[in-house]
């Protein structure tokens, strides 16, 4: 017996569905699945047993007739580097939560529900000492749009890409000086044009769940089509629009994973067909 592992058991309604959830979302590995209603998974030194009601000893009724069932407030805790990023990632994948991000003295926590309603606490410990060199929510590279009409650009992004304003700062004269807006898991900085931050157009490549729908939304928001949605040789279905400030937005949904050799072969065929 491996005494170094911490054992935990959850009662679940559907073992197969629960296994996929823990594998795909929380990096668990399936160690055993000998019967339809039972599985054993592991993540580091944590071992998680999944039982359906009525299956195995753990799924049987108690002497008083009470049957094991999912739910409750007890939970396992998994440490994460960035609670907000994890929350948005799982929310985009359709995961359910009992809470949003809760900030406490020790850090941030989120109560995630598995498909049967059992709780998993995702916990980001508060960092002591020096702050992270990248602010929370940002990536290494952040697009930065300088424009003479920042409010209008923000309104376009909200309409075309379901963007959400993350922060904004106005000067005492009421002019919007700086804002960040979120599309999916990424932030875009938007600033009022100045001598230092000269207004100029950008080209951005944006991955979305449904390129055809987002393309229609972008046109309805006032952009001009540069390319209707089409399947590209490198595995993306892509469209292009230009907004009224000449920013070019390439919108894509990835539809096929390809090896480097497959992409090269498809690229040759594409060049031959188009003579470019």
Q: What is the pTM of this model?
A: 0.57
Rounded (10°) CA dihedral 174, 176, 178, 182: 130
H or E element that contains 96: strand 96-97
pLDDT in tens, 118-159: 888 888 887 766 677 788 788 899 999 999 999 999 999 999
pLDDT in tens, 60-81: 666 667 676 777 766 788 888 8
pLDDT in tens, 162-173: 999 988 998 888
Q: Check: CB of residue 220 under 8 Å from CB of residue 159.
A: yes
Tokens of 272: 């031959």
Distance CA 92, CA 185 (A): 9
Distance CA 253, CA 123 (A): 31
Tokens of 250: 């390439």
Residue with tokens 């590995």: 29
For position 73, what pLDDT does the model report? 66
Domains and CATH numbers, the chain: 1-61 (3.10.180.10), 71-126 (3.10.180.10), 137-200 (3.30.1900.10), 202-276 (3.30.720.110)
Tokens of 198: 């000269």
Between vectors from CA 172 to CA 169 and to CA 176, what angle results, nearest 5°? 35
Residue with tokens 């990835």: 254
Distance CA 146, CA 102 (A): 34
For position 130, what pLDDT does the model report? 62
């Amino acid at each position: 017996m491996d005494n170094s592992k911490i054992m935990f058991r959850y009662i679940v309604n559907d073992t197969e569905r629960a296994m996929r959830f823990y594998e795909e979302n929380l990096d668990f590995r399936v160690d055993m699945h000998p019967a339809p209603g039972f599985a054993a998974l592991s993540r580091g030194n944590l071992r998680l047993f999944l039982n359906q009601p009525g299956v195995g000893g753990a799924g049987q009724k108690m002497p008083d007739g009470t049957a094991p069932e999912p739910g409750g407030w007890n939970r396992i805790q998994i440490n994460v580097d960035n609670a907000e990023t994890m929350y948005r990632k799982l929310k985009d994948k359709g995961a359910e939560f009992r809470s949003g991000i809760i900030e406490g003295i020790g850090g941030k926590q989120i109560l995630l529900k598995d498909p049967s309603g059992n709780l998993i606490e995702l916990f980001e410990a508060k960092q002591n000492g020096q702050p992270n060199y990248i602010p929370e929510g940002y990536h290494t590279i952040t697009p930065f749009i300088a424009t003479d009409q920042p409010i209008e650009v923000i309104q376009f992004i909200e309409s075309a890409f379901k963007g959400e304003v993350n922060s904004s700062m106005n000067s005492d004269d009421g002019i919007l000086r700086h804002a960040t807006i979120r599309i999916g898991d990424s932030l875009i900085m938007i600033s009022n044009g100045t001598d230092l931050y000269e207004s100029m157009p950008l080209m951005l490549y944006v991955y979305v769940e449904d390129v055809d729908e987002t393309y229609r939304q972008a046109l309805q928001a006032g952009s001009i089509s540069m390319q209707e949605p089409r399947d590209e040789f490198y595995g993306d279905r892509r469209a292009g629009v230009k907004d009224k400030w000449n920013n070019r937005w390439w919108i894509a949904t990835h539809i096929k994973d390809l090896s480097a050799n497959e992409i090269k072969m498809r690229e040759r065929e594409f060049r031959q067909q188009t003579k470019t």
